[in-house]
Amino acid sequence: MSAAQAPSAQGSPFWQFSLRFYRQPQVADTCIALQEERGVDVNLLLFLLWQATRKRAFTAAEVAEIERRVGAWREMTVIPLRTLRRALKSPPPLVAGAAAELFRTKVKAVELEAERLQQEAMYELAGATPRGQDAPSLADAARGNIAAYEAMGGKAFPKPAIETLLAALPASGRTTEE
């Protein structure tokens, strides 16, 4: 990996993209709905959209290979932490409400760190074994990557969700950090 591609103290370019993108209007709600209703790994979806900003298009087989590489981490860390955090919204009455909420906040931070670690590993994976083909445009790559994810998972995404995600992508064909 070249120095230009090395992750900064604030995280890799992929992590920085994810933070900015997720904050766009309606993106977080759309991603969560896709996660809940279609079983989408939001980190994988964000990875494919980040790659689209680099005009990289993936096949369903390539998406399946990435899923195979990251799935165990998600299943072992991210999902159990998410489940615990959600359960703590209504904790048993043994622990006082404020203390339980403080604990829930700590679990949420650990969940976010697990997601960041997954993304950093995905970034390293992308640099070590480049995948995807050059696409004519960001829009073509993004639509193609979403379609590849749908095909890999065997579930179509609602069209309004796709349009929300596409509208939130940067207007230019490139991100500022590559």
What does the pLDDT look like over 35-94, one tens digit per residue?
999 999 999 999 999 999 999 999 999 999 999 999 999 999 999 999 999 999 988 888
Token pair, residue 134, equals 């050059």
**Judging by DSSP bridges, how do beta strands 133-134 and 56-57 pair with one another?**
antiparallel
- Alpha carbon distance 57, 41 (integer Å): 18
Q: Specify the pLDDT at position 130.
A: 63
Which pTM value belongs to this model? 0.86
**In this predicted structure, what is the pLDDT of residue 91?**
80
